[in-house]
Structure 1
Amino acid sequence: MDGLQAVRYTRGRLLVLDQLRLPHEYEYDEVQTSEEAFDAIRSMRVRGAPAIAIVATLALAVELVNQDFSSATVVSQQDYINQKLDYLKGSRPTAVDLTNAISLLKQVIAHAGQSSNEAATVREAYIKAAEKILQDDLTTNLAIGRYGAEYLRRQQSPFDIVDEVGCFTTSSSGEQIALEKDDRKMSVLTHCNTGALATSGHGTALGIIRTLHNMDYLEHAFCTETRPYNQGSRLTAFELVYENIPATLITDSMAGALFAQRKEEKNISAVIVGADRVARNGDTANKIGTYGLAVLANYHGIKFIVAAPTTSIDLETASGKDIQIEFRARHELTQISGAVVEVDGMVNTSKKARVAIAEQKIDVWNPAFDVTPYRLIDAIITEKGEVVRSKTGTFDFQAIMPERWTAQVEKEAHERI
């Protein structure tokens, strides 16, 4: 392998890693149409909010390169693109990156159509904008990793150390006491998969962990299994091993015991998660189980960090109660499938089996996501830095997204008057 990538793209060709085959097989599928992209996303061969947006928008770009649109007019070309984008939007409703990408691309082709009477100009404008989404995502992930690592390091050493002099506080008797910088490496826990496999590369929450490791600040990473789809055990564990990051896999239900028994020993300092959608007040929709981890982290005095690109922030949704939660198939809880482990312990990828793990007639409730209230979140880290809180305690996105705030929030407030 030449590095973990969920997507490989050159103009006119899109390859998508089939993540259902991981961690035992590493195979790419070629995606040539919007319909094939929809199926790859819906079946979760590709997942992760940034990767979903990238695959959907680039698949349409591939169509525009390879299909014959020689007879198209500007209007018919715009209609074609808009209809395909509306179709792709339905592939995964909770993740907002795709919605934001679609909104951007519709604006791009509308502007292109106003400035030219050539359908080819509209196509080229779309293709370049879709390619830029891919390019920008990697830059975004690297910035999130840096800002997140710096934030956590500040929490580890909350007092400024000035050269060799240090920082001092005064005791009740008036004596000056030196405050030494805490140089212990930190351990963190992450949930679901938020690394290179969920993005264009590096990752968001897992990107912060990767950056901590590269800076030699990380002692250990813990990853949850992330039932029922096991993105943690299948994908995050795979990435951590691939990157030689010291890591341990736990089941979702072990997190509380881990915090209680090993917080001090391993210096467990943070839970770091990604986001499929962040509402205007900071309420965050993420993989099911995230909310429970936030409650546990809060109880045990562990920082709870959301790593989210600004493309995952939904300013038009006021709070988490307005976020549409996707529900998944019942068999995800009652059955499990995978490669067969032979008697000698070797994994045989040529033999697959589906196994019943529950009473097949039992009723099932299977939401793919839950919503963590902003009050339980210590920090939201974006590619523009840490998001500050407002006077009411909600997260204030206006400073890092002034143009979108004006266009979406202030416009909405004006229309209500």
Structure 2
Amino acid sequence: MSLESVRYCRGSLQVLNQLLLPQSSQYDPVTGVREGADAIRTMKVRGAPAIAIVGSLSLAVELTTSPPQLMSDLLSFVRESLDHLVGARPTAVNMKKAADELNAFLAQEAEKPGVTVQGLTDSVIQWAESLLEKDVKDNRMIGDLGAQHILQTTDAPGGAVIMTHCNTGSLATAGYGTALAVVVGADRVVANGDTANKVGTYQLAVLAKHHGIPFYVAAPSTSCDLSLPTGGSIVIEERPSQELTDINGVRVAAPGIGVWNPAFDVTPHELITSIITEHGVFRPEELKKRLSRAL
């Protein structure tokens, strides 16, 4: 059985502390938005889909345990909380998309006749909880579509040999995984197919291109940001230098060494064979048109 990145029931959220893997499997409680944002920022939780789910569920937990009593308080709390969660790790687009959709849902529901603060609170909680079910469904579809496509297009007599890069399994999502039959995951795919993923993806794509090896990206549609035209518009998150100079709080690098620690690189669409989503397998140049139609 694969490790669960998230354990949730209404009013309770636990996240697998991935900073402690593989030595130990420890689940840390997340009691509200501040702890959710901290788990995202410190990389206890990783993977763009999992970031959105943990962020949204941390909001749901706080609304369950400490529900606002006034409509104005509920509206401002949700909006401010979502802004805080989006800022925790800006490159992964899923949390921003979830925030935009939840804000739109909140505004729509708040205008309905007879709405109460308790009813609207329950609706927001249910909306966040629905992300769990949708994530697993989408990830299974991505795995199925990716496997079918690769097996249909390979001409190797022994079948396809797959190399994955980045955290492409259950730890990057709510519990199933996206890139189970493909090469790399993604934190953001823009309109022309350029893809941001963990550092090292670009080098792997160059090697694959040089040797004539197909290079696939697996990403749910929530990781596709069609509002950005090219990868040059993606904001690349920079991590603390201590992640490279220290191990468990003990410095291992020589004194005075400077560190630049970008968390992602951008792979140009020219190096990508196809992008596999829950809606289908698309060439980079097809992505915007085909995905817009599907959505």
**TM-score normalised to structure 1 length:** 0.68
Given that 2:47 and 2:172 are in contact with CA atoms closer than 8 Å, whether structure 1 keeps it comes out as yes
**Native 8 Å contact 1:280 1:314 kept in 2:** yes
* AA at the equivalent of 1:370: D
Q: Which amino acid aligns with 1:33?
A: G
CA deviation vs aligned residue, 1:81-104 (integer Å, no higher than 9, x gap):
111111111000000000111111
Partner of 1:208, secondary structure, is coil
The match for 1:79 among 42, 58, 76 is 76
1:187 alignment partner, SS class? coil
Query: What do the CA deviations read for 1:376-407 (whole angstroms, capped 9, x no partner)?
Result: 00010001110145xxxx23332233376xxx
Q: Secondary structure at the match of 1:131?
A: helix
Deviation string, structure 1 residues 276-315 (Cα, Å, up to 9, x no partner): 0001111000001101110000000111000000000001
Residue aligning to 2:277:
382
1:49/1:312 contact within 8 Å kept: yes
- 2:4 partner letter: Q
C-alpha contact (below 8 Å) 1:108/1:125 kept by paired residues: no
- Please say if residues 388 and 397 of structure 1, whose CA atoms lie closer than 8 Å, have aligned partners that are also in contact: no
> Aligned to 1:102, what secondary structure does the other structure show?
helix
Q: Which has the larger radius of gyration?
A: 1
Structure 1 SS opposite 2:149: helix
Distance of 2:145 and 2:212 partners within structure 1: 21
1:53 lines up with 2:52 in the alignment: yes
The residue type paired with residue 23 of structure 1 is P
Aligned residues with identical type, % of pairs: 46
Greater length-normalized contact order (CA 8 Å, ≥ 6 residues apart): 2
Structure 1, 183-192 or 83-92: larger mean CA deviation: 183-192
2:170 to 166, 185, 196: 196
1:67 is aligned to: 66
Q: What's the counterpart of residue 349 of structure 1?
A: none
Look up the SS of the partner of 1:189 in the other structure. coil
Q: CA deviation at 1:120?
A: 1.4
For 1:139 and 1:68, the matched residues in 2 are separated by 30
**Alpha-carbon distance in structure 1 between the residues aligned to 2:286 and 2:232:** 16
Residue 360 of structure 1 aligns with which residue? 255
Distance in 2 between residues matched to 1:397 and 1:124, nearest whole Å: 35
Conserved in 1, the CA contact under 8 Å of 2:162 and 2:181? no
CA distance in 2, matches of 1:3, 1:283: 30
Question: Does the 8 A contact of 2:3 with 2:170 survive in 1?
Answer: yes
In structure 2, the residue matched to 1:340 is none
Q: Deviations over 1:185-229 (max 9, x none)?
A: 322211121211110122111x226xxxxxxxxxxxxxxxxxxxx
Q: Which residue of 2 aligns with 1:94?
A: 91
1:278 equivalent in alignment to 2:189 = yes
Q: Closer, same or farther in 2 for the Cα pair 1:360/1:190, shift >3 Å?
A: farther
- Give unpaired runs (5+ residues) of structure 2: none
RMSD between aligned alpha carbons?
Answer: 1.6
For 1:400 and 1:278, the matched residues in 2 are separated by 12
Q: 2:195, 2:269 within 8 Å by CA — same for their partners in 1?
A: yes
Secondary structure at the counterpart of residue 141 of structure 2: helix
Distance (whole Å) between structure 2 residues aligned to residue 63 and residue 305 of structure 1: 38
1:318 aligns with 2:229: yes
1:275 and 1:388 map into 2 onto residues whose CA distance is 15
Rounded to whole Å, the distance in 1 between the matches of 2:87 and 2:36 is 12
Mapped partners of 1:403, 1:190: distance in 2: 27
1:253 corresponds in structure 2 to none
For residues 30-66 of structure 1, give each alpha carbon's deviation from its aligned partner in whole angstroms, at most 9, with x where no partner exists: 1011000111111111111000000000000001111
Cα offset for 1:183? 4.2
Secondary structure of the residue aligned to 2:228 is coil
What is the alpha-carbon distance in structure 2 between the residues aligned to residue 102 and residue 68 of structure 1? 19
Count, aligned residues: 294
Structure 1 runs not aligned, ≥5 long:
158-181, 210-271, 338-352, 405-417
Where do 1:142-157 residues align within 5 Å? 142-157=140-155
Structure 2 CA distance, aligned partners of 1:293 and 1:388?
Answer: 18
Instruction: Check if 1:124 corresponds to 2:122.
Output: yes
Q: CA–CA distance in 2 between the matches of 1:291 and 1:275?
A: 12
Match of 1:18 in 2: 17
